[in-house]
Amino acid sequence: MSYLDKVNSPKDIKKLNIDELDELCQEIRSLMIKTVSENGGHLASNLGVVELTVALHKVFNSPTDQIVFDVGHQCYTHKILTGRRKEFSTLRTENGISGFTRPVESPHDIFSSGHSSTSVSAAIGLAKAKALKGDKGKVIAVIGDGALTGGLAYEALNNSSIDTDNLIIILNDNDMSISKNVGSVAKELTHIRTSPKYYRFKSKVSRGLAKIPKFGAQITRFITVTNQRIRKKLYHSTFFEDLGLRYYGPIDGHDMQSLIDALTVAKAHSHSVLIHVSTVKGKGYDFAEKNPSKFHGIGKFNIDTGEPLSKGKTFSDAFGENLLSFAEKDSRICAITAAMATGTGLVNFANKYPKRFFDVGIAEQHAVTFSSGLAKNGMIPFFAVYSTFLQRSYDQLVHDVAMQGLKVIFCIDRAGFVGEDGESHQGVFDTAYLMSVPDLTVFAPATFDELSSMMYQAAYKEEKAVAIRYPRGGQAVLPENYKYEKHAFDVIGDSSNDICLVTYGRETEPCCKALKECDNAFVLKLNKIKPLSSEIADVLKNTKKIFFLEEGIKSGGVGECFAELLLENGVNAEYRHICINDEFVKQASVDSQLKKYCLDAQSVIDIVNEKI
């Protein structure tokens, strides 16, 4: 029997010794690599925190002690250890377990996650609530060094020492060093300070000193100040201690005994504590260790070669190629990303034009305002960002770009359904909030050629801010006789027919496919979804039924704005809006999601024929 077979809850881990825990970690890695190779997922980040997660569950008592994973893309070991090992093969599949923490799955998952830099804020709130209610247990926030590039993390750290004695922050440093130390003395000091024996001795001495009349408190204060001064000499940065946190580290994140010792000391503390843990991203799988960016979020792949199983040009690839071409001819072209150079197709741009490429870290708010500064002084900034992450910088889009009348070009990747990443990553909200922003033009390409043309229009034909939204994956297949002529909208089919299917972007393909089975119908394809052209009303003035189909949320979406346009222009037609109605889209394949929300070709046919 493997050790994995013996672990059905965190309680089972407490029965294992160090050697057994190390063996358990290797079994977890093997299971993880096999499952992600078949289902896709976040591999490198999860491989790096196996020992850390096992040690957390060895020392603490989840869910009484609450563990909050930042982003949640490193929670696979946690899921395996908290009763979901048998369901792990369903990771990221429809009706399976999520690739992120989800409280609906388990009481051990404290917060739904998916976006970065939130854990410390949530943990402080959880810890304060425990204190106010008199509940037992610690609250542990596990945050990576990448997430510390997000401003929310620093807002929380600034608030982390407010009368909170049950908070522990684990800084998982797998890339950059946060607090560099000096030589072997500092290293040995860290080892001593995280020894449970030393901590018990220190506590005993403190209690003894406190009993000394008159001078006990003075001696204790003198020792404390002296310790602080010594640490400042040995550690170049005392940033965390200056914030009121007790700092321990760096700790080897793959040394089980060191981790257990450090966590045991932190658990015994009556102060807020930060433990700095150094880990290797992709640990235990050679391909992931050598190329952690590639294996950060990866689809199905061959375990023996590390190569993805699915290939083909994507909108991200096309965007990167186009921007590179523009930059060759125009030195004003700049590329901005929020730690997503690979995902958004900007790697080649970064290599060729490093001075005009800016990766600002996981800081979408800063990325937008930074871009506005570039634009103000004459550059042409293209900010490439996933739809789900752009929503984090809505205020900057409104206040620092649109209100200033500046031309920043937002290239919004993963717009619409994204599939298996689930609720936190679906790109279905951007249309609703973009439609509300004054002086913003929004394009929706369906093909790579359209994307290229719209990028050119944005850079050289538009005067103010522009957003170009495109889906994950490849381009739509449209009728052979269709050609994009840079109009705000196009008609596909005979506009004298009674039924019109209105749509944009990827959804154009299933609507065009449906035309083959639908008599008396045509497609109105929106290329520019904001502003909507008033000429549309002239095309639809004699139409009897209009179906608006979009991969977006209903409230405030393009379909609602389109209905208003029809009403204002006296178009008297039966109108139906097929979209996402006031709910979060759960994980499934994109094809399954399209079918569920009646946006696949067969559903469109059934809608037109009034079967749905």
Q: Hey, what's the torsion of the CAs at 6, 11, 17, 20, to 10 degrees?
A: 30
Q: What is the identity of the amino acid at 171?
A: L
Alpha-carbon 240 to chain mean position = 25
Instruction: List the catalytic residue out of 29, 138, 281, 294.
Output: 281
Helix axes 256-268, 196-210, angle to 10 degrees: 20
Burial class of residue 305, CB neighbours in 10 A (0-12, 13-18, 19+): exposed
Cis before residue 250, ω within 30 degrees of 0?
yes
281 is catalytic: yes
- If one counts every other C-beta atom within 10 angstroms of the C-beta of residue 216, the result is 15
Residue type, 498: D
The answer to whether the beta carbons of residues 436 and 558 sit under 8 Å apart is no
Alpha carbon 337 to its chain centroid, in Å, reads 13
Radius of gyration (Cα) for the chain, nearest Å? Answer: 27
Q: In what order do the strands lie in the sheet with 273-278?
A: 66-69, 139-144, 167-173, 273-278, 246-252
Task: Tell me how far apart the alpha carbons of residues 188 and 545 are, in angstroms, rounded to a whole number.
Answer: 77
Is 364 a known active-site residue? Answer: yes
Tell me if 532 sits within 8 A of 565, measured CB to CB.
Answer: yes
Contact between 524 and 539 under an 8 Å Cβ cutoff? The reply is yes
Nearest residue to 42 via CA among 122, 120, 146: 146
The two tokens of residue 177 are 């060093």
Determine which one of 51, 105, 364, 450 is catalytic: 364
The string of DSSP letters for 168-207 reads EEEEEESSS-SS-B-HHHHHHHHHHHT-HHHHHHHHHHHH
Strand partners, 553: 580
* Residue with tokens 């800016």, as numbered in its chain: 358
Q: Which of 84, 138, 392, 513 is catalytic?
A: 392
Q: How far apart are CA 349 and CA 340, in angstroms?
A: 13
Nearest to 386 by CA among 420, 339, 432, 422: 339
Residue with tokens 């809505």: 394
The answer to whether residue 87 is catalytic is no
Q: Any idea which residues carry the catalytic annotation? A: 281, 364, 392
